[in-house]
Amino acid sequence: MTHEPTPAPGHGGHAEAPPAPLSNILLHPPARPSHPPVPPPVAAPAPLEVRIDGLAVSVRAGSTILEACRAEGIDTPTLCYSENLNPVNVCRVCVVEVKGSRVLVPACSRKVEAGMEIETDSERVRTSRKVVLEFLGSSVDVSLAGPVAPDGSIAAYMERYGSDPSRYGPAAPPVAAGERDAHEPGHHHAPGGGPEAATVAQPVKVDNELYVRDYSRCILCYKCVEACGEDAQNTFAIAVAGRGFDARISTEFNVGLPDSACVYCGNCIGVCPTGALMFTSEHEMRAEGTWDESAQTITNTICPYCGVGCSLDLHVQDNSIVKVTSPMDSSVTDGHLCIKGRFGFQFVQNREG
């Protein structure tokens, strides 16, 4: 960072009007406004005319291509995009073709410009979406990815674009715990020519009672990092470490969550699109085979712990709370909670005594 010398204040050359005597203000105070001051009117920017898939449409200035597409009812797959986070545009499944652009552009972050001609279903778009979904499907366990409205299920999009992850060969077996975390940048074992496709498969990380981290399911969408850091919690307990295919979400030196800065707000779970981050309750029920979303009800309520009044969605199965989320469109939470609202539900179902 540069350290500019600050100009010394109060040495400007221009003459200043002498201040009004204090007694004037005390004796003749200005009239109080009868209503709060209104900011000066700002003309709403004129809508932009663009073409999407050949159709002339009028789009609010400042909106993204994704917003424009959704307004037109064009279903666009997204994975790393979330309404309550800044777009990082890394998953690249939302790419569209913009006339005049050498490469495809991410719809989630690119703002519309007047006269833009956008193709959302061209051959190039379909191929990129197909292959990107194949890359994910062949390297990550995406079986739990979606369906999360409005993101949709990865499986449905794979079908739409004709993705076939098996084209890259059978999945390589999982590595031992901690092995991927120890990989150094710039070095990897070259493939030997076998049919197997490299994956991120590894054992689930269970190091606390509240949630588990199953990085075999991690597509590295950066959402948890954003939610833990700048976009919501401001805790920065996790970050992306390593490089390339060895990049992974990690605490410092891969220490367990109890040794990290984690405050167990669970906002990372709330934004995770693939089930890599999961309530321990859900993880254990899935392992037992008792997890059944069709048998669950969702009860909307207000968190009882403090005066903020966060909206809670209690996911209930067999008369027990199995998971707590908060609606994305809640003006209080934007979908985020704290440890009490997210995990402090055991007392409700303590049936002893």
Partner 1 sequence: MDLHVIGPLASPAERAAVDAILGPATSGWSGGERNAATDGRAARGGHEARSRRDLLLPVLHAVQGRIGFISQPALNYVCRRLTIPPAEAYGVATFYALFATAPRPPVVAHVCDDIACRLVGAEALCGDLERSLGPAGSPSADGRTTWLRSPCLGLCERAPAAMFTLAGESSTTITAAPVDAVGVASRLAAAAAGRTMAGGTTDVRAFAPQAGEPGVRLLARVGQVDPEGLEAYRSAGGYRALANAIAMGREATIAEVTASRLVGRGGAAFPTGRKWSAVLAERSGQKYVVCNADESEPGTFKDRVLLEEDPFAVVESMTIEGFAVGASKGYLYLRGEYPIAGERMANAIDRARSAGLLGENIMGSGFAFDVELRRGAGAYICGEETALFESIEGKRGEPRNKPPFPVEVGLFGKPTAINNVETLANVLLVLTGGPSADGVGGGEAFASIGTEGSTGPKLFCLSGHVARPGVYEVTFGVTLRELLGLAGGVPGGRAIQAILLGGAAGVFVGEEALDTPLTFEATRAIGATLGSGVVMVFDETADLVDTLRRIAQFFRDESCGQCVPCRVGTVRQEELLARLAAAQRAPAPARSRDAELELLREIGQAMRDASICGLGQTASSAIESALKRPGMVAL
- Binding residues for partner 1, rule: CB under 8 A, are 1-2, 4, 89-93, 95, 103-104, 106, 109-110, 124, 127-128, 130-132, 135-136, 138-139, 167-169, 182, 184-188, 190-195, 197-198, 219-220, 229, 234-247, 250-253, 255, 259-261
Least Å distance between CB 246 and partner 1? 7
Q: Smaller CB distance to partner 1: residue 39 or 173?
A: 173
φ, ψ for residue 187, nearest 5 deg = -135, 130
75 or 259, CB closer to partner 1?
A: 259
Q: Which is nearer to partner 1, 52 or 104 (CB)?
A: 104
One-letter amino acid at 14 equals H
Nearer to partner 1 by Cβ, of 35 and 189: the residue is 189
Residue 221: which of 110, 123, 77, 111 has the closest Cα? 77
Minimum distance of partner 1 from residue 237's CB (angstroms): 6
Q: How far is the CB of 195 from partner 1 (least distance, A)?
A: 6
Buried residues in 90-104 as b, exposed as e (16+ CB within 10 A): bbbbbbbbbeeeeeb
CB of 66 to partner 1, least distance (A): 14
Pairing of strands 48-52, 117-119: parallel
Q: Work out how close the CB of 79 gets to partner 1 at its nearest, in angstroms, rounded to a whole number.
A: 9
Q: Residue 170 CB: number of other CB atoms within 10 A?
A: 12
Contact between 276 and 79 (Cβ < 8 Å) = no
Specify the residue, 48 or 285, whose C-beta has the smaller distance to partner 1. 48
Shortest CB 202 distance to partner 1, Å: 16
Q: First-to-last CA distance in the chain?
A: 61
Which of residues 166 and 301 has its CB atom nearest to partner 1 in the complex?
166
Question: How far apart (Å, rounded) are the C-alpha atoms in residues 126 and 134?
Answer: 12
What would the DSSP string read from start to end of 195-250? Answer: SPBP------B--SSSEEE-GGG----SHHHHHHTTTTT-----EEES-GGG-EEE
158 — phi, psi (to 5°)? -60, -40
CB 227 within 8 A of CB 237: no
Shortest Å, Cβ 68 to partner 1: 17
Q: Please identify, using beta-carbon distances, which residue of 75 and 252 lies nearer to partner 1.
A: 252
How near is the Cβ of 77 to partner 1 at its closest, in Å?
Answer: 12
Cβ proximity to partner 1, 236 vs 305, nearer residue: 236
CA count, 13 A, side-chain hemisphere, 108: 21
Which of 216, 182, 212, 178 is CA-nearest to residue 198?
216
